[in-house]
């Protein structure tokens, strides 16, 4: 291309044409488009979706006991009785949500099969985290169902009304079917239809904010009790709700049954943090924990089975080399037996292989995936640290950067103070900073070990457990920390002395 655009960026019409044509011809001949490269690789995945967290598997190996246990308790709902409340707990990635969702799907399926009115309402309390929102969401779900219920009832009645034109005897109750209403006349049917439609028009949705909680609760209560049913309310991440808004919601829900006339409510709480029960009113605690089901972490063999099941669907045949699944399972087993982590690892390894345009996924891809996931986690944890913790971490990092390893709390504290001065930030006491270091230790960002210095007592030796460069980049991306300049010479000076 010899023609340069004129200085104002425009060209003559002819020239434009020439250039464009050349470009097109050139493209046709050789140069591959942006996506050609990516498409040309041997495809690795058959269906990547089944490895994503959003996918609910139909088969859950190694959760038979927990699933049967839940089913044994919930079967009461199908008999029209109130199931005991259930508290499910276990570490993250142990299949609590997946199992509970699976059981509720089965329960609803069976209830439809036998026409037993039983519904499961799932609420993720990490998202819906206040009493208002929980009650409003429940109220609106039941209101919606009640509307549908009225519609189908009205349709039935209209059919009945029509049939009565030809044969008035259809209006009489037949003995075998008690819920068939007995009508004196076709007009009585009309009146009843009218009444139902009137009720329906009064079914007003609860707004997502603005009402007093009492009113939301009353509306919810009324909506659940509108028809006979068993409502199983599943509160996933229930600890988040309690942490954010206390135990009022649970208190209200757990004492509802004594006042409901037509319906029954049962609660399933799911949590990966059992400590939240310490904050519950004893009555709520005992009511919620009528039945407890524990989900233990998976071991490496169990994780292998889980991965094998999924990979059969997720990957093309022979796309995985032999050691891929065992290695993913082994890594995830070290990480407190987390199936989510195992699946992430397998998916990421597949994506890396895909990006490499490799024929298949190898052990090497799994190792790289492990590093990538770990780095992503570190970046996320560091990014979301409170400013004071970031300053403490930055101090440790600067020391490490300057070749000072295994530092003690005093050394960290000195640098930390300088950083605070630079930034005009509050200086915490050394004791508080020691606490923050322990927190960083718990998050796996630093490693703090207590070492004995003989008769000089004991001290903590602190080292970084995360890659220096990436961590530094994340810290420096924080606008509050980006003001720090030239601390390095200062650190240097301290140790030259």
Q: Which residues are at the interface with ligand ATP (CB under 6 A)?
A: 53, 57, 60-63, 90, 92-98, 272, 306, 339-340, 343
Residue 247 CB burial class (10 angstroms; 0-12, 13-18, ≥19): buried
Contacts of residue 103, defined as CB under 8 A and 6 or more positions apart, other chains included, come to: 67, 70, 71, 74
CB of 338 to ligand ATP, least distance (A): 7
The CA radius of gyration of the chain, in Å to the nearest whole number, is 32
Q: How far is the CB of 96 from Mg ion (least distance, A)?
A: 5
* Residue whose CB is less far from Mg ion, 97 or 128: 97
Q: Are 471 and 376 in contact (CB under 8 A)?
A: no
Closest to 261 (Cα-Cα) out of 294, 237, 226: 226
Query: In the chain, how many H helices and how many E strands?
Result: 19, 7
Closer CB to ligand ATP, residue 206 or residue 306?
A: 306
CA distance 337 to 352: 23
Name the nearest CA neighbour of 223 among 163, 139, 346, 122: 139
- Give the Cα separation of 261 and 137 in Å (integer): 22
**Residue 343 interface partner, choices Mg ion, ligand ATP, none, CB cut-off 5-8 Å depending on type:** ligand ATP
Is the CB of residue 143 less than 8 Å from the CB of residue 221? no
Question: Is the Cβ of residue 66 or residue 389 nearer to ligand ATP in the bound state?
Answer: 66
* Pick 94 or 409: Cβ nearer Mg ion: 94
Indicate the residue whose CB is closest to ligand ATP: 95
Nearer to ligand ATP, 97 or 145 (CB): 97
As measured in angstroms, the least distance from the Cβ of 305 to ligand ATP is 8
CA dist 485 and 492 (Å) reads 14
The least distance separating ligand ATP from the CB of residue 300, rounded to whole angstroms, comes to 14
Identify whether the C-beta of residue 285 lies closer than 8 Å to the C-beta of residue 252. no
Q: How near is the Cβ of 59 to ligand ATP at its closest, in Å?
A: 7
Residue 60 binding target from Mg ion, ligand ATP, none, CB below 5 to 8 Å by type: ligand ATP
Nearest to 438 by CA among 450, 427, 426: 450
Q: How far is the CB of 94 from ligand ATP (least distance, A)?
A: 4
160 binds, options Mg ion, ligand ATP, none, Cβ within 5 to 8 A by partner type: none
Q: What are phi and psi of 407, to 5 degrees?
A: -80, 165
61 binds, among ligand ATP, Mg ion, none (CB under 5 to 8 A by kind): ligand ATP
Q: Nearest-CB residue to Mg ion?
A: 97
Choose from ligand ATP, Mg ion, none: what does 213 bind? Cβ within 5-8 Å by kind: none
Q: Degrees (nearest 5) of the Cα angle 109, 111, 114?
A: 110
Cα–Cα distance measured from residue 130 to residue 235, given in angstroms and rounded to the nearest whole number: 12
Residue 42 per-residue DSSP state:
P
CB of 56 to ligand ATP, least distance (A): 6
Q: How far is the CB of 373 from ligand ATP (least distance, A)?
A: 14
Q: How far apart are CA 471 and CA 379, in angstroms?
A: 7
Nearer to ligand ATP, 224 or 238 (CB): 238
Q: How many residues bind Mg ion (CB under 5 A)?
A: 1
* 62-121 binders of Mg ion (CB under 5 A): 97
Smallest gap from residue 380 Cβ to ligand ATP (A):
15
Kindly tell me which of 96 and 161 has the beta carbon lying closer to ligand ATP.
96
Scored b (16 or more CB within 10 A) or e, 111-145 reads beeeebbbbbbbbbbeebbbbbbbbbbbbbbbbeb
53 binding partner (options Mg ion, ligand ATP, none; Cβ < 5 to 8 Å by kind): ligand ATP
Binding partner at 93 among ligand ATP, Mg ion, none, C-beta below 5 to 8 Å by kind: ligand ATP
Residue 451: CB minimum distance to ligand ATP, A: 35
321 binds, among ligand ATP, Mg ion, none (CB under 5 to 8 A by kind): none
Q: How many CA atoms lie within 13 A of 368 on its CB side?
A: 14
Q: Which does 235 bind (CB under 5 to 8 A by kind): ligand ATP, Mg ion, none?
A: none
CB-wise, 63 or 219, nearer to ligand ATP? 63
CB 241 within 8 Å of CB 135: no
**Residue whose CB is less far from Mg ion, 97 or 249:** 97
What is the smallest separation between the CB atom of 66 and Mg ion, expressed in angstroms?
13
Would you give the binding string for Mg ion spanning residues 220-259, x where CB under 5 A is met? ----------------------------------------
**Distance in angstroms (rounded) separating the CA atoms of residues 369 and 192:** 65
Closer by beta carbon to ligand ATP, 294 or else 404: 294
For Mg ion, give the closer residue by CB, 97 or 389: 97
**Residue 365 near residue 443, CB atoms below 8 Å:** no
Quote the CA–CA distance of 364 and 55 in Å, as a whole number.
Answer: 27
Binding site for Mg ion (CB under 5 A): 97
């Amino acid at each position: 291309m010899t023609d340069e655009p004129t200085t104002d960026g425009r060209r003559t019409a002819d020239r434009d044409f020439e250039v464009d044509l050349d470009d097109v011809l050139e493209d046709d001949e050789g140069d591959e488009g942006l996506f050609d490269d990516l498409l040309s690789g041997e495809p690795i995945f058959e269906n990547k979706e089944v490895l994503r967290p959003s996918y609910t598997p139909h088969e859950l190996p190694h959760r038979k006991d927990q699933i049967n246990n839940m089913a044994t308790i919930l079967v009461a709902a199908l008999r029209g009785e109130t199931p005991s409340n259930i508290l499910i707990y276990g570490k993250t990635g142990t299949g609590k949500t997946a199992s509970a969702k699976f059981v509720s799907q089965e329960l609803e399926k069976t209830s439809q099969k036998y026409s037993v009115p039983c519904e499961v309402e799932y609420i993720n309390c990490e998202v819906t985290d206040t009493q208002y929102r929980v009650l409003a969401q429940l109220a609106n779900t039941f209101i919606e169902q009640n509307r549908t219920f009225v519609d189908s009832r009205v349709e039935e009645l209209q059919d009945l009304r029509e049939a009565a034109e030809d044969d008035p005897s259809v209006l009489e109750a037949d003995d075998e079917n008690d819920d068939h209403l007995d009508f004196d006349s076709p007009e009585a049917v009309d009146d009843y239809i009218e009444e139902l439609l009137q009720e329906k028009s009064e079914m007003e949705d609860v707004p997502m904010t603005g009402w007093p909680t009492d009113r939301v609760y009353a509306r919810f209560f009324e909506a659940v009790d509108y028809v006979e049913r068993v409502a199983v309310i599943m509160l996933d991440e229930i600890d988040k709700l309690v942490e954010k808004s206390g135990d009022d919601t649970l208190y209200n829900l757990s004492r509802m049954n004594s006042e409901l006339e037509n319906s029954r409510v049962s609660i399933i709480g799911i949590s990966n943090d059992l400590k939240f029960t310490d904050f519950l009113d004893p009555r709520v605690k005992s009511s919620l924990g009528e039945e407890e089901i524990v989900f233990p972490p998976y071991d490496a063999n169990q994780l292998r089975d889980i991965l094998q099941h999924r990979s059969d669907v997720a990957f093309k045949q022979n796309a995985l080399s032999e050691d891929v699944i065992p290695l993913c399972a082994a890594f995830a087993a070290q990480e407190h037996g987390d199936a989510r982590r195992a699946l992430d690892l397998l998916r990421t390894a597949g994506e890396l292989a895909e990006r490499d345009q490799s024929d298949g996924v190898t052990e090497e891809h799994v190792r790289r995936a492990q590093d990538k996931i770990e780095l992503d986690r570190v970046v996320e944890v560091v990014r979301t640290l409170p400013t004071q913790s970031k300053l403490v971490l930055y101090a440790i990092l600067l020391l490490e950067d300057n070749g000072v390893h295994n530092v003690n709390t005093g050394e960290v504290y000195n640098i930390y103070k300088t950083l605070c001065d630079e930034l005009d930030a509050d200086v915490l006491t050394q004791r508080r900073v020691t606490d923050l270091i322990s927190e960083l230790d718990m998050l796996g960002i630093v490693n703090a070990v207590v070492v004995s210095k003989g008769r000089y007592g004991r001290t903590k030796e602190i080292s970084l457990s995360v890659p220096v460069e990436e961590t530094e980049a994340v810290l420096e991306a924080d606008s509050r920390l980006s003001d720090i300049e030239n601390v390095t010479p200062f650190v240097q000076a301290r140790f030259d002395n």
